[in-house]
Amino acid sequence: MTRGRLNGAGIAALSLALASLGLPAAPTDSVTGNLDSTAKDGGGHYTCYGTPTCVGVATVTTVHHNNNCTNNTFTFSSNITFTGLDLSHTGTITGTFTIAQVQSGQTTNQDGSCTYQLVPGSTWPFTATWDGKQGQMTIASVDTNGTSNPFAGPFIASLASAPVFPMTVSANVTTTTSTVSAQVQPRPQDVGAAASIYVFAQAPSNLVIGAPPAKRAPAGATRPAKPEDDAIVCVLAQVNASGQFVAVSASTMQAYLMGVLTSQSQAVQILNNVPTPNVVGASLFVGYGESAAAMFSSNLYQTALSVPGGVQCTASLASAPAPTSPGALTGRWWNANESGWGIHFTQRGSNIFAAWYTYDAAGKPKWYVASACTGMTGTSGTCTGTLYEVNGPTFFGVPFTPITASQVSAAGMLQASFTDANNGSMTYTVGSVTRTVPITRQPVGVGTLTPAVDYSDLWWNPNESGWGIAMAQQNANIFLAWYVYDNTGKPVWYVASNCTVNGSSCSGVLYSTKGPAFGPTFPPNQIQVITAGSVIVSFVDANNAVLSYTVGNVTATKTITRQIF
């Protein structure tokens, strides 16, 4: 069987709103392109959002000239993801393209028509050129029978932000060697300053000398060892004289050039005939500053090139803040005398999104949300909103179907009152139960290290509206609360209380709990904690990440981004 080629049957719009809860999306980069502009037997158009990781939808048409079907044209839509699509500079761009499903094969019906089958898609590398206004992309696709079948087309982009500084990149990356250079021009306000230019990378830890991989949840009586236990995460690195990555930090990073910045562009050699297997999956960066630490804190760096690989790193240790940073009340709150349940607040302006983790009448974990608890000003005052219960499709082991309004029902009311950023109370009504309980901010910190980015926020996948993750960060630790659905579609939650930040990722054990039946009192001695699996969150940048998890016998990955409202 062969995969039909892709056709332009119209641009598919990707909705970034959580329709059932009415949350708007933030402005972001958008890319629209033609997957195969010269095809005679098919092609496609797409629109995706965000860079360098661009998530969206393609509308695809396959045309079959010799299958004797009365309907020889088939159109479908599929989720797509580009990684490494960095449009912050002109020149060569490389990365990967993933399409969730493709058409392959058909069955003939009695009336002479055909029913076409969709099968899981693939990930292929792409190469593109970008002049700042438009580009041309070639995707090295392979048919299901193993035949090389590349397709190419133009694309345009609407960018929400300008490049950090002017930079043009030239690259020659083959399967054997890689040579990459750049022309860097400082910003006008930086001319005359003493500074160093740095060349560095975010690279898969298995390619980096001195960077042991992060570990997944430890094996034990409840979970046997698995091959994926040695997780590959992305770490900060530089290339040594032998063409190999060496682990570095902001304090040990070596400067490429030192001196006074001028208005003239500066030639920078990023890779010089380095063996490509040494750098697959890495993203290469150029930046400048008084020191490497100053460069990171000022965000004076940008991606030069991403080299496609099985594990794709697309961000540095520090990066731009969220488009709209969460307010001071954001975090996980609890009643210390009732350990076992909690509520996560995400504050933006006068609105708070509350995700409440509790138990149903049978003691099973259950969550509610109040997506619009409004009325707050600063860190003191009261917000009031409707509590919703959401029932969704099965989450684990199958493709997730976004929820609809019919799956969301009002379950009660929530009122949260705050005396300051760390103390307050919540009053809820669910069914016939009304209760007021004092709450305080729950400490989740480990150690004294403060990472460059605070990931505390509500995170989701815009293509899979209906599930999400609430992250509360303190120092180098993230308390991760994940609300999803069980095999019957009922809301269920998991937590990773110690997802420790290491470089640009955190990893930890996932736990499930059973507790006392929901009611007017809460006896914490009835809580049962069960090891459910493991989780790794690899942050692409300050606002995007890849979630890798194992729950039971299901191991999978999801892209996630901050949910801006």
Model pLDDT for residues 473-508, shown as the tens digit of each residue? 988 789 999 999 999 999 999 999 988 876 667 888
Q: For residue 564, what are its two tokens?
A: 């801006």
Contact residues for 148 (Cβ-Cβ < 8 A; gap 6+): 140, 141, 142
Query: Model-level pTM?
Result: 0.53
pLDDT digits (tens, 9 = 90+) for 98-119: 888 887 778 888 888 888 888 8
Q: What is the DSSP letter of 292?
A: H
Query: What residues contact 440, with CB distance under 8 A and at least 6 apart?
Result: 333, 334, 335, 336, 422, 423, 424
Share of the chain above pLDDT 70, in %: 83
Residue 328 phi, psi (nearest 5)? -65, -25
Q: Among all chains, which residue has been given the structure tokens 């949910």?
A: 563
User: How far apart, in whole angstroms, are the C-alpha atoms of residue 269 and residue 238?
Assistant: 13
In this structure, are residues 229 and 215 in contact, taking their beta carbons and an 8 Å threshold? yes
**Across 90-102, average pLDDT:** 87
CB atoms < 10 A from the CB of 133, how many? 8
* Rounded distance between C-alpha atoms, residue 126 and residue 85, angstroms: 9
CA distance 228 to 220: 15
| pLDDT higher at 82 or 213 | 82
CA–CA gap between residue 89 and residue 66 (Å, rounded)? 44
Beta strands, E only, 335-422: 342-348, 351-359, 365-374, 381-390, 408-418
What token pair was written down for 102?
């493709």
* 43/66 Cα distance (integer angstroms): 17
Name which of 103, 59, 99 is nearest 80 in CA terms: 99
Contact of 267 with 173, CB cutoff 8 Å: no
Of 529 and 20, the structure prediction assigns the larger pLDDT to: 529
What is the helix (H) or strand (E) element at residue 349, kind and residue range? none
Say what the pLDDT of residue 18 is: 23
Percent of the chain topping pLDDT 90: 39
Whole-angstrom distance, CA of residue 3 vs CA of residue 143: 5
The count of other CB atoms within 10 Å of the CB of residue 487 is 12
Fold of 30-158: Porin (2.40.160)
Determine which of 56-70, 255-269, 421-435, 536-550 has the lowest per-residue pLDDT on average.
56-70
What HEC string does 401-422 produce? CCCCHHHEEEEEEEEEEECCCC
β-strand pairing of 266-275 with 245-247:
unpaired
Task: Give the helix/strand (H/E) hosting 518.
Answer: none
Give dist(CA 492, CA 368) in Å, integer.
Answer: 10
- Which class for 224: exposed (0-12), middle (13-18), buried (19 or more C-beta within 10 A)? exposed
Between CA 331 and CA 366, with CA 498 as vertex, the angle to 5 degrees is 60
Mean pLDDT for 438-466 is 83
- Residues 416, 418, 424, 427: what is their CA dihedral angle, to the nearest 10 degrees? -20
The stretch 376-384 carries a mean pLDDT of 89
How high is the pLDDT of residue 65? 65
At 145-157, the pLDDT tens digits run 778 888 888 998 8
Q: Which residue is it, tokens 């980069």?
A: 29
User: Could you report how far apart the first and last alpha carbons of the chain are, in Å?
Assistant: 45
Reduced DSSP (H G I as helix, E B as strand, rest coil) percent helix, strand, coil of the chain, to 5: 5, 55, 40
499's tokens: 């997802």
Cα–Cα separations (whole angstroms), residue 53 to 8, 91, 556: 23, 18, 18
Identify the residue whose tokens are 């989720």.
79
Amino acid at 2: T
> What local confidence, expressed as pLDDT, does residue 12 receive?
22
Q: Mean pLDDT for the chain? A: 81
- pLDDT over 50 (residue 220): no
Q: Which pLDDT score, from 0 to 100, does residue 463 have?
A: 87
Token pair in block for residue 442: 């729950």
Token reading at 389: 């219960």
What is the pLDDT confidence band of residue 143, given thresholds at 50, 70 and 90?
Answer: confident
Banded pLDDT at 224 (limits 50, 70, 90): very low
Domain with CATH 2.40.160 in the chain: 30-158
pLDDT value of position 46: 86
What ranges make up the beta strands (E) of 52-141? 54-63, 73-83, 90-99, 101-108, 114-120, 123-130, 134-139
Calculate mean pLDDT across residues 338-342: 93
Size of the chain, expressed as the number of residues it contains: 565
Tokens of 365: 């974990």
CA distance 178 to 201: 14
pLDDT tens track for 417-447: 999 999 999 999 998 899 999 999 999 876 6
Separation CA 462–CA 465 (nearest Å): 6
pLDDT average, residue stretch 447-459:
75
Q: Which residue has the tokens 């049978």?
A: 362
Of residues 198, 191, 199, the one with CA closest to residue 260: 191
3-state secondary structure of 255: coil
Contact 345, 324 (CB under 8 A): no
